[in-house]
């Protein structure tokens, strides 16, 4: 079985998206999205609230400081009209308002004090509100001669002794705080009013420089000092008709149209208000504080933009942090799932591999058993083969025994005859003939020993391979020698065309046995033939081998027997003549020697060809 394919089947393809894992992933995603949204909103709200709270607290602190600065600016000059009202020269002037020297004295005094104290102007009104002396007596826009009887700071000071009033100067057009103090005459009645005009405009520059948005409004709600010039002389909310008429009559804020800063919807003036600045509006948290003795209100506006931006930023950070956390959690759980799936895959794989390993080792054991069995069978076969070769050899011996008998008996008979005749020639003293006979007898014994040597070699049961370079010609001659008697008796004509350089790599004895078989078969086949021709040839084939052919004129092999001649025990000879082992054993031997044997017919008879590997001669 294909191990890889079966292992692959055991491995899950991938995690499909339809199981409970998938649903829980989606649920988690929704939960994380909801948590992120809620966290973002909560952080936004909390951050905005705390940002606004901080802005409100800072505004309150700034308000306290602004009010203190304003009060200090006002109080710094509070004493000045009171002191001047007690001045004898002032009082003297009011006693003789047309006396030029007195006017000159007071003018000089006022001019000096105004310059020293940095107030806008100091001037003296008589009981009718006409200006008798002023610090700016020598300037083009001098107050001297002007009547301010309609101005509240005159009437209030006349009525109550002291007055404070913010308004735009009718002569100069410059705004300022007018502080009035009644001057008593010798009779105790009000003889006039000393007025000090304080310039508060510089405060606005300070607020602007500090980037603060500050407004000061009067009792009627009209803004008269502001960090932004566009807000000045405008009420927060629309003023009543009577109030507007009064302001205009007093010329408090010059020609201002008293256009309200806010629309009616922001009537409560608390929380966040939108103030116009040119084409745009500034949104700000408004905090206010009353300045009771002046009947003024100080407004401090803190822009909400920074708090809003900070809240958005914090919400963004929270959202991103939540998302990052969600991603980290998702990545972690995904990694965990992947590890789990990898682990289960690995386990399945290991299990499969273990199973396959067991299968393989079982198959291995089986194979080993089969190999051992085959080796045993091969050994048995080899033993049988050896036995058969030996038996074949003995059979061949049996076949040629008659010829051998004849071959050996003849020389033995010849020897006996020679011995008898030699004894007689010895008695006669014919030593020359004795010598010749002895020579012949030596030749005969040599021939006998030669035949016996071949027979011994043939009959010996050969053991393991012993290959060497064997000369085909010598082998053929040896075999022909063995069969010489039969060849001669049967009148067989032998031709041998084997070149002397034909050497093959073989076992000499076994090769002889093969050749002996082939030649004996050829002789058998030609026994009844009209002419008996045995032809041996050897030709070089493909450089690496030699082809040895044994051709006879015995009529050949019947076509129907052609495929069987190499089968063991196939014989066409009568019982006792042939065992049918010769060719099968020869075939085995030739194959053992690394060659092959084939049978064919030519026009006269059978041709057996042995091909064997060539050897160096
Ligand atoms: P056996 O010689 O004992 O019969 P072999 O195996 O040597 O056994 O030969 C098998 C048979 O092959 C012979 O019986 C014969 O029929 C046939 N055969 C062998 N050599 C020849 C040949 N040269 N010519 C014709 N037939 C042959």
- List the residue whose alpha carbon is closest to atom 7 of ligand 1: 582
Q: What is the CATH number of domain 202-297?
A: 3.30.450.20
Q: What average pLDDT score do residues 67-80 get?
A: 89
Lowest mean per-residue pLDDT among 146-155, 202-211, 249-258: 249-258
Q: Is the pLDDT of residue 7 over 60?
A: no
Q: Is residue 552 lining ligand 1, measured as CB closer than 6 Å?
A: yes
CA distance to 38, 47, 586, 590, 617, per residue, from 471 (Å): 108, 115, 18, 16, 7
* 291-305 confidence digits (pLDDT tens): 878 889 999 988 888
pLDDT digits (tens, 9 = 90+) for 162-177: 999 998 888 888 899 9
Residue 120 clears pLDDT 70, i.e. is over it: yes
Residue nearest to ligand 1 atom 17, measured at CA? 565
Q: Is 396 in the pocket of ligand 1 (CB under 6 A)?
A: no
Higher pLDDT, 337 or 191: 191
pTM for the predicted model, two decimal places: 0.48
Lowest mean pLDDT among 225-239, 326-340, 511-525: 326-340
Burial of 398 (0-12, 13-18, 19+ CB in 10 A): exposed
Sequence-separated (6 or more) residues with CB below 8 Å from residue 21:
15, 337
Per-residue model confidence (pLDDT) at position 324: 85
410-422 average pLDDT score: 81
* pLDDT tens by residue, 523-542: 999 999 999 999 999 999 98
Report which of residues 613 and 405 the model is more confident about: 613
| Six token digits for residue 522 | 């050829």
Tell me, using a 6 A CB cutoff, whether residue 177 lines ligand 1: no
pLDDT for residue 254 is more than 80: yes
> Across all residues in the chain, what is the average pLDDT?
85
* Predicted confidence band of residue 464 (pLDDT cuts 50, 70, 90): very low
590 Cα to the center of ligand 1, angstroms: 17
Domains 86-199 and 457-613 share a fold: no
pLDDT in tens, 136-192: 999 988 999 999 999 999 999 999 999 999 988 888 888 999 999 999 988 889 999
In angstroms, what is the span from residue 391 Cα to ligand 1's centroid? 17
Q: Is 67 within 8 Å of 298 (Cβ atoms)?
A: yes
121 lines ligand 1 (CB under 6 A): no
Question: Which of 102-111, 323-332, 527-536 has the lowest average pLDDT?
Answer: 323-332
Instruction: Report which ligand 1 atom has the smallest distance to the Cα of 573.
Output: 14
Judge whether residue 454 has pLDDT over 60: no
Sheet holding 131-134, edge to edge: 131-134, 121-126, 190-198, 175-184, 162-168
CA geometry: angle 402, 408, 411, nearest 5 deg: 135
Mean predicted confidence (pLDDT) in 208-213: 89
Residue 529 contacts residue 492 (beta carbons within 8 Å): no
Instruction: Indicate if ligand 1 lies below 6 Å from the C-beta of 573.
Output: yes
pLDDT over 60 (residue 403): no
What residue's CA is closest to ligand 1, atom 14? 571
11 has pLDDT over 80: no
Beta bridge partners of 608: 550, 599
In terms of pLDDT, which residue wins out, 85 or 592? 85
Question: What pLDDT does residue 266 have?
Answer: 56
Pocket-testing residue among 397, 551, 552, 571, ligand 1, by greatest number of atoms within 8 A of Cβ? 571
CB of 554 shorter than 6 A to ligand 1 = yes
525 lines ligand 1 (CB under 6 A): yes
CA angle in degrees (0–180, nearest 5) for 600-605-608: 40
Question: Ligand 1 centre from 85 Cα, in Å?
Answer: 174
Ligand 1 geometric centre to CA of 379 (Å): 29
364, two tokens? 């291995």
> Where in the chain are the domains?
2-52+308-389+406-434, 86-199, 202-297, 457-613
Q: How far is CA 32 from CA 18, 28, 92, in A?
A: 21, 6, 90
Q: pLDDT tens, 17-33?
A: 445 555 666 777 788 88
Nearest atom in ligand 1 to the alpha carbon of residue 581 is 6
Nearest ligand 1 atom to the CA of 583 is 6
The rounded Å distance from CA 372 to ligand 1 centre is: 37
Pocket lining: 392 vs ligand 1, CB cutoff 6 Å: no
Determine the average pLDDT of the residues in 537-550: 93
Give the CA distances from residue 199 to residues 114, 166, 203, 225, 226, in Å, rounded to whole numbers and listed in that order. 12, 10, 9, 11, 14
Residue 3 pLDDT grade (very low, low, confident, very high; cuts 50, 70, 90): very low
Ligand 1 geometric centre to CA of 488 (Å)? 21
- N- to C-terminal Cα distance for the chain? 54
Q: Measure 580 CA to ligand 1 centroid, in angstroms.
A: 7
Ligand 1 centroid–CA 582 distance in Å is 8
Backbone φ and ψ of 36, nearest 5°:
-60, -45
**Which atom, in ligand 1's list, is nearest to the CA of 565?**
12
Closest approach atom of ligand 1 to CA 554:
24
The conformation of residue 190, written as its DSSP 8-state character, comes to E
More confident residue, 92 or 274: 92
Domain with residues 86-199, CATH architecture: 2-Layer Sandwich (3.30)
Rounded to the nearest 10°, the torsion over CA 240, 243, 245, 249 is -160
Q: Provide the pLDDT confidence category of residue 597 given band limits of 50, 70 and 90.
A: very high
- Cβ-contact 276, 213 below 8 angstroms: no
Which of the pair, 541 or 444, is modelled with greater confidence?
541
CA of 473 to the centre of ligand 1 (A): 23
Q: 244: which residues sit within 8 A by CB, 6+ positions away?
A: 258
User: Which fold is adopted by the domain 457-613?
Assistant: Heat Shock Protein 90 (3.30.565)
Share of the chain above pLDDT 70, in %: 87
Residue of 23 and 372 predicted with greater confidence: 372
Residue 479 confidence class, pLDDT cut points 50, 70, 90: very high
């Amino acid at each position: 079985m294909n191990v890889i394919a079966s292992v692959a089947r055991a491995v899950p393809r991938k995690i499909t998206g339809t199981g409970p894992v998938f649903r829980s992933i989606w649920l988690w995603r929704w939960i994380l999205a909801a948590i992120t949204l809620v966290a973002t909103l909560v952080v936004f709200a909390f951050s905005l609230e705390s940002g606004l709270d901080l802005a409100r607290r800072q505004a309150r602190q700034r308000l306290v400081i602004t009010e203190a600065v304003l009060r200090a600016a006002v109080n710094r000059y509070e004493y000045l009209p009171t002191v001047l009202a007690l001045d004898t020269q002032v009082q003297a002037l009011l006693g003789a308002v047309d006396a030029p020297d007195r006017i000159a004295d007071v003018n000089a005094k006022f001019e000096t004090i105004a310059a020293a104290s940095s107030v806008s102007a100091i001037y003296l009104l008589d009981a009718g509100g006409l200006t008798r002396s002023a610090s700016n007596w020598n300037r083009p826009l001098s107050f001297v001669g002007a009547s301010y009887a309609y101005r509240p700071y005159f009437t209030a000071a006349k009525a109550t002794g002291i007055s404070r009033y913010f308004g735009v100067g009718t002569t100069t057009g410059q705004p300022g705080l007018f502080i009035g103090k009644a001057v008593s005459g010798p009779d105790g009645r009000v003889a006039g009013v000393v007025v000090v005009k304080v310039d508060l405009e510089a405060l606005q520059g300070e607020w602007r420089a500090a980037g603060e948005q500050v407004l000061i409004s009067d009792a009627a709600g009209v803004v008269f000092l502001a960090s932004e010039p566009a807000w000045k002389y405008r009420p927060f909310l629309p003023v009543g008709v009577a109030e507007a008429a009064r302001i205009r009559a007093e010329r408090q804020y010059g020609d201002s149209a008293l256009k309200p800063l806010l629309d009616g919807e922001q009537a409560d003036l608390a929380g966040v208000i939108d103030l116009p600045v040119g084409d745009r509006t500034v949104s700000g948290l408004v905090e206010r504080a009353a300045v009771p003795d002046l009947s003024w209100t100080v407004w401090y506006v803190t822009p909400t933009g920074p708090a809003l931006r900070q809240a958005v930023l914090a919400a963004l950070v929270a959202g991103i942090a939540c998302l990052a956390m969600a991603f980290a959690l998702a990545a972690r759980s995904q990694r965990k799932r992947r590890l789990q799936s990898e682990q289960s895959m690995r386990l399945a794989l290991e299990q499969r591999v273990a199973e396959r390993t067991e299968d393989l080792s079982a198959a291995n054991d089986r194979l080993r058993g089969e190999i051992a069995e085959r080796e045993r069978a091969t050994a048995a076969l080899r033993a049988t083969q050896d036995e058969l070769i030996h038996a074949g050899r003995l059979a061949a011996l049996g076949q040629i025994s008659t010829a051998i008998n004849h071959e050996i008996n003849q020389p033995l008979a010849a020897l006996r005859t020679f011995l008898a005749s030699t004894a007689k020639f010895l008695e006669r003293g014919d030593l020359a003939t004795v010598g010749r006979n002895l020579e012949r007898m030596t030749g005969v014994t040599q021939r006998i020993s030669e035949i016996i040597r071949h027979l011994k070699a043939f009959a010996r049961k050969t053991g393991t391979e012993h290959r060497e370079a064997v000369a085909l010609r010598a082998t053929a001659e040896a075999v022909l020698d063995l069969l010489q008697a039969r060849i001669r008796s049967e009148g067989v004509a032998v031709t041998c065309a084997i070149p002397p350089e034909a050497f093959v790599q073989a076992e000499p004895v076994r090769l002889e046995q093969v050749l002996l078989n082939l030649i004996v078969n050829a002789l058998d086949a030609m026994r009844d033939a009209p002419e008996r021709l045995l032809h041996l040839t050897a030709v070089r084939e493909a450089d690496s081998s030699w082809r040895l052919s044994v051709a006879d004129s015995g009529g050949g092999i019947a076509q129907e027997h052609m495929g069987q001649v190499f089968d063991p025990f196939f014989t066409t000879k009568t019982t006792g003549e042939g065992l049918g082992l010769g060719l099968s054993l020869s075939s085995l031997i030739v194959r053992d020697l690394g060659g092959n044997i084939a049978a064919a017919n030519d026009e006269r008879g059978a041709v057996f060809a042995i091909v064997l590997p060539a050897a160096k001669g």
